[in-house]
Structure 1
Amino acid sequence: MKFTHTWLVALGLATGATASLAAVTAEEAQALGGTLTRFGAIKAGNKEGTIPEYTGGLTQAPASFVPNSGVWTSPYAAEKPLFRIDGKNFTQHADKLSEGQRQLLKTNPGYYLDVYPTHRSAAYPEKVLKATVRNATACNASNDYLTVNTDCRGGLPFPIPKVGKEVMWNLMLRYSPETAVTTDHGRSWFVDADGKAIMTSDQYTLTERPYYQLDLKDRDPQMFWRTFSVTKAPGRLAGQVTMLIDFLDMDNKPRRALSYTPGQRRVKLAPEFAYDTPIAQLGGVTFFDELFLFSGKMDRFDFKLVGKKEMYIPYNNNQLYFGKECEAEKQFAGRHMNPACERWELHRVWVVESTLKAGQRHSYAKRTYFIDEDGSGAGMFDAYDKNGQIYRSMFQSMIQMYDKTSPWAVKGVTYDFNKNMFLVVGDVGVGGYTVEPKALSELDLNMEAVVGRETVR
């Protein structure tokens, strides 16, 4: 395996066990906007020309885009694949494939990866870029990276990451529209070992990122992410309500999770909605700490920053998000995704290895993450059991909301290789998204208001 180390080797690639570290020197920060983009990616393309130079991302909508439709049509719809990777030739591309990708290609004769031209489409508002540059020398963490300074708000906290936990914080605090993003039909699908697709949930969802809501003075400066969902189907789950809230000080202000079940008619705190607790609404095929690749407290694993690597990852997947040809069951092909609905591109990724700490408990012994250097949220991970065998792999695809100057990465596919099953989360089909002009609390969609209860028990 080849990795781009740059400054990483000199720093020893610590696992993140140090406390109250992070800010880089003023001299190191000068690379931002020069050899590095202002969010810390390598600006230049690769020597082969298969990864282009970053030139600002995608901010121009294609002619097919209908404003305020909630659907972001593909700006690259006319492109054809450069080549196809399948079960017969995947060994020729093994160095740029994760173990999970190789496993899928090896065990599913009908599966393939169509590799398209690479577009570094992730683009960000100027205010976010300025805040990110500021954070390079001002932002810091403490308590073994369980706490990030609230002064970091408004930009990526660690644009020049030196340890694995800084990359993971960048993932969790990545930019997406800071005001509420809603969908009336956020569906999740479970596909069993026989290739039968079952919709595990159809939810109204609302997500916001207070970390970027600097103009809202009533925000809790500790709160960085909040999501709210009401289950509409299937009938046995209809009416269930869930809210998750995460804070920058995950030690002193752990995740606040609340749930409402119509049969019990009360709101309850749900501290178990963390770590490797299976998510019931998602068929139990994924854990709470796997939401959007990773979510939650980083106290059970050591996170080692290995370096950078060129990998094929799901990118600019507008067809998978919104294409009518890939709507509902059409996106599946037996025991895997319909490969015609997927788009893969070559990108540089941060490689982070997380290993379970001695004395800690989790269903996995190790996970290896591959996270887009351009901060879009696209990427994947491979998870291993205690015998070192691959257990699950997740692939999270992205689109660029070109009219909002924001990446958006929520649709993910998780394969369980033990059970020969897979899960799709974040499917909205042609219904699309609504980017609300107001924050969640201003929409009066707090948990107690929705269920008509005054207390949380």
Structure 2
Amino acid sequence: MIYNPKYLTPFILAMSVSAWSIVAIADDEKQLGGPVLTAFGAEKAGNKEGTIPAYTGEGLKIPAGFGKDPKDPYSRPDPFTNEKPLYSITAQNAAQYADKLDGLVEIFKTYPNFRMDVYPTHRSTVFPQYMLDNTLKNAKDCKSVDNDTLIENCWGGIPFPVPQNGAQVMWNHLTAFRGHAWQGYSNSYVVATNGTVSNVGGNRLWQQSPYYDPKATAPAVGKTVYWAFRADADAPTRKVGEKLVIVDPLDVKNIGRRAYQYIPGQRRVKLSPDLAYDTPSPSGGGSATMDDALAFSGALDRYDFKLVGKKEKLIMANNFKIYDRAGCDDARIVSTKNFPNPDCIRWELRRVWTVEAKLKPGFRHVYPRRMFYWDEDGYATGLAENYDAANKLYRVVSLHGVPYYTEEEGGMVAEGTFNLDLQTGVWSVQGVHGNVGAGAAKSSPKPDNFFSSEGLTGAGIR
């Protein structure tokens, strides 16, 4: 069992041979924040082997001098810089860890020189009190409706701290807490099969979530935006001046995603409704779809989401290594063919919610089946294993996040993904922070029209 039956009334929602069974909680709001569950629904206890520690609620202390360098305000020193890997997984020993790898075993079969360095697990993500308070409200008030494609009466917290089905887990990921507003800079690259590297986007970024407005006095409504995104490109040369806005409301099915682009050569802003679902990502070089952003983003209407269970899995976590300007700048991260440089990636054993998505009859997508694994400590990190029509692993998408330091009110910097196309050998990284000046930090919220066609029209002159 995942949860201690001493405190819970168990009934099995879903189970598989490889996944742990899930139990529901009789009075969710009474269990949250108690001896078993955190206020946001994760298990407090570690695992019996001690390889996953207990959650203590202690965040990371802010390093001396953090944010003081005007030329590199987003640099994030690694609090675990002196740690060494506990072990490494290679093609030679991958079978030994198959139960913690799942579909990732195929990467070792496809690329025999792939390696995973596994480090000690640190549960360092903390959250501001208002978000935890709202999560407790959601345990009683938040509902998923219309076949779980919409949520209503939800406050700015995790909608379903004790999820009862796969779609609710997906909503927890979509609305994962990364702050009310944040900004920064990142680069994106595509690495061809022969190892040729192309910078496909250097972007100044602004993001915010009105859903997490700490001043909100009522639950969110359908038009409430949970993710607003704007990217202004200044690299490479051919893309200088391009701008992109994506706005996702809670009612992403009926109100729908709003996406706008400004192309300097056209001197106009255009509505881009096709920037969703399986449209190829402009910065993915053919290795990612639009809904691969954040390992999954957008509407839930094309898939049936089954809650498979909760298990232990190796995922990228606490990836401060990719903020290391000296040891793992962008050039080193993208210096390897087929996958990111293993020297720059930190893998940890985490407890994850496992969701299987199968395409509904009558709908189309290049991924008929998908497996999602979301970290229980906030849902902002995890990975997706995406399968083709022959049920062969097609692409793997991994979020590479780090916790905000405690003094910054908690949450995650989880903006970028590594996208591995196992069928072509191409891989990409969308949003990487290894170079001076790259990264993200909390910021003051922008006015709503900043994330609009009018906002792009006013700024989009080259």
The TM-score normalised by the length of structure 2 is 0.89
1:394 aligns with 2:384: no
Tell me the distance in 2 between the aligned counterparts of 1:227 and 1:95. 36
- The residue identity in structure 2 corresponding to 1:422 is W
1:412 equivalent to 2:414? Answer: no
Deviation of the 1:66 alpha carbon = 4.8
2:316 match? 314
The 5 Å alignment of 1:249-268 reads: 249-268=251-270
Per-residue deviation at 1:154? 1.4
Contact 1:376 1:409 in 2 (8 A): no
SS of equivalent residue, structure 1 residue 330: helix
Matched with 1:79 is 83
Aligned to 1:345: 348
Q: Root-mean-square deviation (CA), in Å?
A: 2.6
- Cα distance change on mapping 1:30 and 1:5 into 2, 3 Å: closer
| Mapping of residues 193-204 of structure 1, within 5 Å | 193-204=193-204
Residue in 2 aligned with 1:95? 99
Counterpart CA distance in 2 for 1:46 and 1:84 is 21
Q: Relative to structure 1, is the Cα distance of residues 305 and 376 closer, same or farther in structure 2, using a 3 angstrom cutoff?
A: closer
Partner deviation per Cα, 1:41-75 (whole Å, 9 max, x = no partner): 11100001110100004242245745573122111
Is the 8 Å Cα contact of residues 440 and 446 (structure 1) preserved in structure 2?
no
Instruction: Map 1:108-123 onto structure 2 (within 5 A).
Output: 108-123=111-126
Letter in 2 for 1:199: N
- Identity among equivalent positions (%) equals 36
Q: 1:291 to 1:8 in 2, by over 3 A?
A: farther
Residue 446 of structure 2 corresponds to which residue in structure 1? 440
Structure 2 vs 1, CA of residues 448 and 418 (structure 1 numbering), >3 Å: closer, same or farther? same
Alpha-carbon deviation of 1:263?
1.8
More divergent stretch after superposition (432-441 vs 247-256): 432-441
> Which range moved further: 119-128 or 53-62?
53-62
Q: 1:162 to 1:216 in 2, by over 3 A?
A: closer
Deviation at 1:276, TM superposition (A): 0.2
Q: CA deviation at 1:428?
A: 2.5
Shift of 1:91: 0.6
Following superposition, the deviation at residue 112 of structure 1 comes to: 0.9
Q: Distance in 1 between matches of 2:126 and 2:459?
A: 41
Q: What letter corresponds to residue 416 of structure 1 in structure 2?
A: D
Distance 1:25 1:369 in 2: 23
Asked if 1 retains the 8 angstrom alpha-carbon contact of 2:183 and 2:440, the reply is: yes
Q: Is the 8 A contact 1:3 1:307 kept in 2?
A: no
Give the Å deviation of 1:237: 2.4
- What TM-score does the superposition give when structure 1 sets the normalisation length? 0.90
1:400-444 deviation line (CA, Å, top 9, x unaligned): 111312222122111001111101011132323353542122795
Structure 2 residue 148 is the aligned partner of structure 1 residue 145:
yes
The aligned counterpart of 1:20 is: none
Shift, 1:262, TM fit: 1.4
Bigger shift: 103-112 or 213-222? 213-222
Structure 2 Cα separation of the partners of residues 323 and 315 of structure 1: 18
Q: Which runs of 5+ in 1 are unaligned?
A: 15-23
Q: Indicate the residue corresponding to 2:192 in structure 1.
A: 192
Q: CA separation in 2, counterparts of 1:445 and 1:302? A: 31
* Residue of structure 2 equivalent to 1:232: 234
| Letter matched to residue 408 of structure 1 | V
Q: Is the 8 A contact 2:180 2:212 kept in 1?
A: yes
Give the match for residue 288 of structure 1.
Answer: 290
Deviation digits for residues 228-257 of structure 1 (CA, Å, limit 9, x no counterpart) = 111222222222211000011122210011
How many residues are treated as equivalent by the alignment?
440
Q: Contact 1:189 / 1:198 at 8 angstroms: preserved in 2?
A: yes
Alignment-derived partner of residue 42 in structure 1: 43
| Structure 1 residues 127 and 310: alpha-carbon distance in aligned structure 2, compared to 1, 3 A threshold | same
Mark the runs of 5 or more structure 2 residues left unpaired by the alignment.
Answer: 16-23
Q: Which residue of 2 aligns with 1:168?
A: 170
Residue identity matched to 2:183:
V
SS of the residue aligned with 1:311? strand
